[in-house]
Structure 1
Amino acid sequence: MATNKFDLASDVEFIKTPPQPPSAFEAQDCGVPTTDSPAIHNAPLPAEGPGSESFSNIVLGVFIVGVPWFLARLIGGGFKTKIFFGLITLFPILIAYWTYMSSFGPRINDKARFPGRPIDSYVTFKDPEDQAKWKGRNKVPIQTFSELYVDGKADIKGDALDILEYRHDWSTFSFTWDLFKFILFTFGPDVIFHTKEQDMEQIRPNYDNGNDHYSYFLGPRMIYTSGIISDTTREETLEELQDNKMAIVCEKLQLKEGETMLDIGCGWGTLAKFASVNYGAKVTGITIAETGAAWATDALRKAGVPEEQSRILCMDYRDAPKQKYNKISQLEMGEHVGVRKLTGFFRQCYDMLEDDGAMYVQLSGLRQAWQYEDFIWGLYLNKYIFRGADASTPLWNYVRSLESAGFEVKSVDTVGVHYSATIWRWYRNWVGNGDTVKAKYGQRWYRIWELFLAWSVIASRQGSATCFQILVVKNLNAVHRIDGVSSQFGLSGALAKAKAAGKALLK
């Protein structure tokens, strides 16, 4: 394996995605419906945890206001004393309330039946104190387990994805002090500032780990975004899923030969190559990662795409060339922009788009009706995988930002289950390359990504996280909406299915 940090496709050996190993646990009726599609990893225990339905902001507000009022009254203080106590009790109250509710809040529903196996059927702890604390039916907080597992202080009995599928049986989603420390002293400051220097410091090292690192799970297409399922009755390859997605991007954009296209956050340039070769577009790709830019440029030239047609630039999105493009794409790049700066980023895109152009936005999202597990998974991801990425939100916030920037939303597709199918294949590639990864990066690094990928298969399948495909145009009177009707595939696809079934006419 090449060790040059600018390793190219010719330096990397890709494996065929291995099959998922069989479950170590006997299948049983869990009390709720399950699925059996070969396109995804089907949940054997699709249970719900505690979450927003039992969390009361009113009760929390009463504590935040009532406790300092009571303390001030107790000592005979006035308004300034109440403010003082309010400031010093705010975070302790928040921490206490979130900890209590995440530990003792009721499940959103209790229809799912847990197997009831002891924790040591799933997990073993190496420290005698940990082993004594969590045994039998004593469940471990999943955030605590994740830290112990990453540090080599806990092991799993079998396949990580298989074990996590039964996490409701052996873990809790209680918030821990370590979690709060990360929120207060790392995640919070990252959200507030998001400077260009901060993004360079946090993002570039992540993507410049080495192209081989990402090849261990992304496969030959080297695309770090969700693919798309086209057939739920068979297991499409990872490459098929990604080709499906790239074709959809180009068709939604109505990309034509000779048109200029800006791909922001282009990664390893595969979409730029796809659009250049299959659609004859003139693509400018932008990435912050030097290794990705080198790979992408090499791939374009080897595909016979001249530099006069398409190019890859290594730069921050804020430094993108100030020119007009017919089409703009950004696939899961907005998460690194930051929630506070998202509208400004979209406005920058607006200014670079021709008035009759279109922009394709693919963004990771979170559900509004949250469960505590959603937050714990998201913070694990932020701590170990996407440091500084904080813009994943429910759909309404993306729509608000896009509309505030001057865009009109033309179509939205939610593709979370497609992401689950994609990450399932990434996970199997990573496990299949396990010995190679451990030899080069060590066991800890292998486990960080093993747990992230396995957990993400579940999160995107069950709705903890999802992904939105959003097509937008400029909200101008002079935009001829009629020209975009043919790209509204949600409408045309539904009508075509009804016509094919002979159900499109009222007789």
Structure 2
Amino acid sequence: MLNLKEPDFPSSEQVVVNQRHLAAKTLFESLIKPSGIRVNGNQPYDIQVKNPKFYHRVIHQGNLGLGEAYMEGWWECERIDLFIEKLLQAKLERHVKNRLSLLWPLFITRYINLQTAIRAFAVAKQHYNIGNDLFEKMLDESMAYSCAYWQQAETLQQAQDAKMNLLCRKLKLEPGMKLLDIGCGWGGLAAYAAEHFSVSVTAITISNAQFEYAVEKYKHLDICFKLQDYRDLNEHYDRIVSVGMLEHVGHKNYRRFMKKVDDCLAPQGLAVLHTIVDNTSNTTCNPWINKYIFVNGVVPSVAQLSKAAEGLFVIEDIHNFGPDYAKTLMAWHDNFIASYPTLNATYDKRFYRMWRYYLLSCAGGFKARYMQLMQLVMSKNRADCYQSER
């Protein structure tokens, strides 16, 4: 006797879910079409979707959903940097209507100061204190965690040395000068200036891990490291430098930061700011970066910085070498991938995917010229004409 079974039809609830996934997939594919990216295509920048929930998540959560979906293995891409580059170059944000859930962070940052002195140490706990072993494997010997200068360099070490030399030359350092390094990281630039230009350096950081590392490694040099917020500075210096620090200051504090530099800088002094710069003025950043990488961070624009410096400084020089950051990030990524087998006991697979996405998506942003890297030279009360360095 034939054992006939009723067909296994999907439930009405499953039908609704499938229709939602299909609608989200159709919308997602139409949105990315101008970029040339294809779902499950064969180009290195094409996205390979592993979970049908991906489409609805990205449509409704934007950048946050895209990054979290990658962390959870919902999609793959051979070249995430190229994928992000093509998305940004297509300017897809012009075709997507604002959602209230995505506007809420903008409202918060516009009216609330997320970078107060109390909140300032949060990013150190989230990012800079996660483990010196990771950064030692990923960075060069100087532990420089900012854009390198690749003009005549072939290796990461050469490019970071060139960046530090360029900063010191722009500062016009002379033996015996007092230099302040605001946001000194692991102390590489402070050490370079002390060793090669014979200056006395005060270097501040808000990271315990960076502070302890730098104090031990450079105890033989004329450097005073301090675990301190920039708002607590009260001494005077011949020169001031800040590298990769302004991204943590926040739009409500740019003027206060500039006033603090003005208060601490000698009348004939020079200050150099090395920072990522956005093409437009914003008060918030990519929500995925804010949640997982740099809490309360925001990238300034040239307009915001020049406004903050107005009446305090003469901006002597602006030097943009943003594409060099893409190359720097790719070098960090390659180092991280090569060294991960020695790190995986501490940093699990989810962290591995998070960190890869961070490095490669940022590289894509610089490749698309969505962000820039600029060095601003500022002076006060100088009668002579500043001659810039390159």
TM-score with structure 2 setting the length: 0.80
Q: Return closer, same or farther for 1:452/1:171 CA change in 2, 3 Å cut-off.
A: farther
1:379 Cα shift? 2.9
How far apart are the structure 2 equivalents of 1:284 and 1:316? 13
Structure 1 residues 117-156: Cα deviation after superposition (integer angstroms, max 9, x where no partner)? 64587444454x427979xxx9x9665332211123x141
Where does residue 77 of structure 1 map in the other structure?
Answer: none
Q: Return closer, same or farther for 1:425/1:288 CA change in 2, 3 Å cut-off.
A: same
How far apart are the structure 2 equivalents of 1:369 and 1:352? 27
Give the match's secondary structure for 2:344.
helix
How far apart are the structure 1 equivalents of 2:126 and 2:37? 42
Where does residue 378 of structure 1 map in the other structure?
Answer: 286
How far apart are the structure 2 equivalents of 1:171 and 1:480? 44
1:253 Cα shift? 0.6
Q: Is the 8 A contact 1:190 1:388 kept in 2?
A: no
Where does residue 480 of structure 1 map in the other structure?
Answer: 383
Q: Is the 8 A contact 1:142 1:171 kept in 2?
A: no
Q: Is the 8 A contact 2:37 2:47 kept in 1?
A: no
Where does residue 389 of structure 2 map in the other structure?
Answer: 489
Where does residue 212 of structure 2 map in the other structure?
Answer: 294
Aligned pairs (5 A) from 1:231-380: 231=152, 236-301=154-219, 304-305=220-221, 309-320=222-233, 322-368=234-280, 378-380=286-288
Give the match's secondary structure for 1:452.
helix
* Residue identity matched to 1:330: S
* Residue identity matched to 1:386: F
Q: Return closer, same or farther for 1:396/1:387 CA change in 2, 3 Å cut-off.
A: same
Q: Return closer, same or farther for 1:131/1:333 CA change in 2, 3 Å cut-off.
A: closer
Structure 1 residues 95-137: Cα deviation after superposition (integer angstroms, max 9, x where no partner)? xxxxxxx989999xx7x7x37564587444454x427979xxx
Alignment RMSD, CA only?
3.5
Q: Is the 8 A contact 2:201 2:224 kept in 1?
A: yes
1:445 Cα shift? 1.4
Q: Return closer, same or farther for 1:277/1:440 CA change in 2, 3 Å cut-off.
A: same
- 2:348 matches 1:428: no
1:468 Cα shift? 1.2
Give the match's secondary structure for 2:158.
helix
TM-score with structure 1 setting the length: 0.63
Where does residue 144 of structure 1 map in the other structure?
Answer: 65
Give the match's secondary structure for 1:488.
coil
Structure 1 residues 154-177: Cα deviation after superposition (integer angstroms, max 9, x where no partner)? 141535445555658999654786
Structure 1 residues 360-412: Cα deviation after superposition (integer angstroms, max 9, x where no partner)? 11121111399xxxx8x73322222111112x2321221111124x1111100
Q: Return closer, same or farther for 1:460/1:219 CA change in 2, 3 Å cut-off.
A: same
Q: Return closer, same or farther for 1:263/1:141 CA change in 2, 3 Å cut-off.
A: closer
1:241 Cα shift? 0.9
**Residue 209 of structure 1: which of 124, 127, 130 is its match?**
130
- 2:345 matches 1:439: yes
1:193 Cα shift? 4.0
How far apart are the structure 2 equivalents of 1:149 and 1:379? 15
- 2:370 matches 1:449: no
Mean Cα displacement is larger for which, 264-273 or 392-401?
Answer: 392-401
Q: Is the 8 A contact 1:115 1:169 kept in 2?
A: no
The aligned length equals: 357
How far apart are the structure 2 equivalents of 1:214 and 1:142? 26
Give the match's secondary structure for 1:489.
coil
Aligned pairs (5 A) from 1:157-172: 157-161=77-81, 164=84
